[in-house]
Structure 1
Amino acid sequence: MTGKGRPRRDEMELVRAAAELWEQDEPELSYLARLWCQTSLPYRDPGDVSAWGRRNGALSLVVQPGMTIGPDGHPRSIGFPYGTLPRLLLTWLSTEAVRTREPVLMLGDSLSAFMRNLGLVPTGGRNGTITRLKKQMERLFLASLTVRWDGTTDRQAGGRLNVASSYDLWWSEKSPDEPTLMPSTVQLSGEFFREVTEHPVPLDLNALRALRGSALRLDIYAFLCHRMSYLRRPTTIPWEALRGQFGSTLGEDKNGRARFKQEFERNLREVLVVYREAQVTSSRAGLELRPSPTHVPLKGLLAATKELRE
């Protein structure tokens, strides 16, 4: 709310988008690889560090940025993928992999066509959406991702789960609407392709469009869609566990933990405007989850799955 008690502009936009979502007959189905419902990428640029990570219980994710050779002849980092754009890309890539059952994906005849698929409006300039998308795509495709599970002393498991093994982008920033001479493609890594096609988490594409103004909102929505798909009894997730999974740059002291809780609760309220069926409450102990209907109804999921197979 604003200081005068009126809703902010983004709050009003969210409510309008949610109202349209409530009235839809069937969800517009999309998917996300299970890993990205359990862990997440950075919300902000981690800066000049060699690695960055998240932990969700026994599951940990470490991200290392891709490297290149600078004009001075020395290796340099191209940076970490962060914010909303890599999350929208991961959803599109996951959905296309499930839809086509192919690891090589075509990204559209033109830059603007692909951006519309992501719900983005092409804008130029140093800070425009075109520049930011191309930069985040390269960072995501070249990043090294290490996943490790260390739940018991009797077993250790882990491996690489890089998103892409190669990519070839033929897009013009000056003429984003013009078809290119060659198609833009990305080849998913074998590990990522198997993960998303064997363990896809269904999401509502229109819900993602409504929530895309915040990376944390997108992560909370994906997390709830995954948890509610198998939750059978009430459970409480402690705030410290949520800090480990979703991360925070607000400090480890009492004030930082309180601010994380406040920020998480604010974004959760906005997610629940869209995912109204989720029975979730916040308490001093943590996040209380109760078994709830999945956001993509089983009927809609079965119909969409049948259509994909045909």
Structure 2
Amino acid sequence: MRSNIDAGPATIGNPIDSAPRLGSACQKGNRDAQFTSEALALEAESAKNAGAMGFMARVLVQTTLPHSIQNGPRYTRRNGTLTVSITDLSGAGLPYGSYPRLLLIWLTTEACRTKNRQLELGPSLSSFMAELGLMSTGGRWGTIPRLKDQMARLFSAAISATSTSGESTALHHHSGKNLLVADDFDLWWSPHSPDQTTLWRSTVTLSEALFQQVIDRPVPVDLRAVKLLKKSPMALDLYAWSTYRVSYLRRSTLIPWESMMLSLGTGYPETAQGKADFKRKFVQALRKVSTVYPALRASPNERGLLLQPSTTHIPRQSRFDKGGFSCRD
């Protein structure tokens, strides 16, 4: 895996997406044991030394993409005074699930590595999917059509981030920024021959506004942890959010379930059943995140998530600023 900021293109993990689904309790136990074993192995070598440094844009760590398919052209989440809306500009639909999250981590990491808005996605579809940790499989439910669909959704989306403060005072401040994900993209892959190389390179050019957001104090993550969590959008969100949140946490803080649901509870209805489902899924995701990130001191209770001062998953350096890492150096 080579995704150090000074190394080659970002690679999120080994291609394991086509592994057969195993149903028995024994097989599930084996998978859980393997997950734990691989998670513990992360502690033996730092992400930097392993060439596994990745990055996430802060604006999409504080509030997140949908977990599941959404109706309508717009999706909005809130985190404190920050409101993030994602709008479908092309009719392709809103991005959702793990794939656009893996794409965004790859894009941010590559932008930090190359310090360039135009990013090459590889000579073939299968090679790029390998960098995302995905096997290339066809068919209706294969990884190829799912990735193509999510790329079309993500690259045709716009992000609006607004912040409001001072609502209870005489001086009210409202600010915001509108970001296109991509100015343009050219994809020349053959879905029927994913290993085939082409004469033209597939590229995506990040918008200038998003590029500046990406390289301005992105949140560092361990791509080995991303690989282990990649099948769960909730776990991916919680992992990035928690290492960012503790980067500026100074005392124990109880975050109510209602607040957690506003920022990470994508797609859950505002009903008693919806809240119960969110809490159950959140606790499951927290177990996984705590396994790959054992320094995280977070525990759920009846009222919410008790978050205590913890070390960030990627150790702080002098260039860190509230969880960010300077990609301008």
Residue in 2 that maps onto 1:275? 293
Change (3 A) 1:297 1:111: same
- Which letter does structure 2 place at the counterpart of 1:222? A
The answer to which structure has the higher helix fraction is 1
Instruction: Write the mapping of 1:145-160 to structure 2, written as runs, cut at 5 A.
Output: 145-153=159-167, 154-160=172-178
- For residues 156 and 62 of structure 2, the distance between their equivalents in structure 1, rounded to whole angstroms, comes to 21
Q: CA RMSD in A?
A: 2.3
Shift of residue 151 of structure 1? 2.4
- In structure 2, the partner of 1:260 is 278
1:20 aligns with 2:41: yes
Q: Does 1:163 align with 2:188?
A: no
Residue pairs, 1:76-155, within 5 angstroms: 77-153=91-167, 154-155=172-173
The one-letter code of the counterpart of 2:61 is C
Equivalents in 2 of 1:82, 1:290: separation in Å? 30
Alpha-carbon deviations, 1:118-139, whole Å to 9, x = none? 1111111222111111111110
Kindly indicate whether residue 248 of structure 2 is the aligned counterpart of residue 247 of structure 1: no
The structural deviation recorded for 1:101 is 0.7
3-state secondary structure, aligned to 1:278: coil
* 1:189-215: CA deviation from partner (whole Å, max 9, x where unpaired): 111100111121100010000110100
Letter in 1 for 2:36: V
Contact 1:14 1:211 in 2 (8 A): no
Match of 1:290 among 299, 304, 308: 308
% identity of equivalent residues: 41
Structure 1 residues 111 and 136: CA distance shift in structure 2, 3 A: same
Q: Is the 8 A contact 2:125 2:194 kept in 1?
A: yes
Q: Which residue of 1 aligns with 2:229?
A: 211
Question: Is the Cα contact below 8 Å between 1:31 and 1:201 reproduced in 2?
Answer: yes
**8 Å Cα contact 2:87-2:158 kept in structure 1:** yes
Contact 2:216–2:327 (CA<8 Å) still a contact in 1? no
Q: Give me the whole-angstrom Cα distance separating, in 2, the residues matched to 1:42 and 1:10.
A: 27
Whether contact under 8 Å (2:217, 2:326) holds in the other structure is no
Task: Tell me the CA shift for residue 16 of structure 1.
Answer: 3.2
Which amino acid in structure 2 is aligned with residue 65 of structure 1?
D
Tell me, yes or no, if structure 1 residue 57 matches structure 2 residue 80. yes
TM-score for the superposition, normalised by structure 1: 0.88
Per-residue deviation, 1:32: 0.5
Gaps (5+ residues) in structure 2?
A: 1-22
Provide the residue aligned with 1:70 in structure 2.
none
Q: Is the 8 A contact 1:99 1:308 kept in 2?
A: no
2:201 is aligned, of 183, 186, 192, to: 183
Taking structure 2 as the reference length, the TM-score comes to 0.84
1:18-57, Cα deviation, whole Å (9 max, x unpaired): 133233344410000001110111101013x131111111
Structure 2 residue 33 is the aligned partner of structure 1 residue 33? no
**Contact 2:64 2:266 (C-alpha < 8 Å) held by counterparts:** no
Q: Which residue identity lines up with residue 40 of structure 2 in the other structure?
A: A
Gaps of 5+ in 1: 68-76
* Structure 2: distance between partners of 1:259 and 1:240: 13
* Structure-2 change in CA distance of 1:308 and 1:197 (3 Å): closer
**What SS does structure 1 have at the residue aligned with 2:260?**
helix
Cα offset for 1:307?
11
The within-5 A match list for 1:216-235 is 216-235=234-253
Q: How far apart in 2 are the matches of 1:201 and 1:31?
A: 5
Aligned to 1:74: none
Conserved? CA contact 1:94–1:196, under 8 Å: yes
Q: What is residue 71 of structure 1 aligned with on the other side?
A: none
8 Å contact from structure 2 (residues 112, 327) kept in 1: no
1:173 counterpart letter in structure 2: P
Q: How far does residue 172 in structure 1 lie from its aligned partner after superposition? A: 0.8
CA distance in 2, matches of 1:301, 1:17: 29
